[in-house]
Amino acid sequence: MLILSATNGTNLDLAQAFAAEATKQGASAEVVSLPELQLPLYDSLVSEAGPGLAKLEQALKQHRGLVICAPEYNGSIPPVVSNAIAWLSVSTEDFRALFNGRPVALATHSGGGGSKVALAMRQQLSHLGSTVIGREVIATSQKAANPDAIAALVTQLTALEPAYKGVPAKV
């Protein structure tokens, strides 16, 4: 599974907790930090995103399941996540194939609760055709991520992965 982190702080820690759980359950996992891809801000005047976009596209093509760990920014999705999706939508041959039917789990470590970012990501990813798991992991500085919830999401995600047709099954 591919695990995207929208930050290099607590959400990256959360992404690594998902990766550790996936490994514990015998699944492969790759963590990608969106800030480290250094994608320029999407603008119709900018013609190229650089090597970070190719890395992200390749990672999406190599994995069936997706976990997105992102904090709530002003009651919504962090710009780095929206920016990555915007670049993918205008720069890849078959953008819809990257998301259509893909099983996705959502997680957040947020200062403001996190329920709004989960709702916003659920709406956007559903619009793109992804199969978003109903359960999510929400953590704050006062409430740590529940390891049982992480384990349950990894289990659900790996169970849904074989049904996704966008990436060949690993034999």
Alpha helices in 25-135 (DSSP H): 34-37, 51-62, 79-91, 95-99, 115-127
pTM of this structure: 0.94
- Taking only the tens of pLDDT, the chain with its 171 residues reads 999 999 999 999 999 999 999 999 999 999 999 999 999 999 988 888 999 999 999 999 999 999 999 999 999 999 999 999 999 999 988 888 899 999 999 999 999 889 999 999 999 999 999 999 999 999 999 999 999 999 999 999 999 988 777 665 553
Distances (CA, A) of 165 to 130, 162, 168: 12, 8, 7
Name the CATH topology of 2-163.
Answer: Rossmann fold (3.40.50)
Domain spans of the chain? 2-163
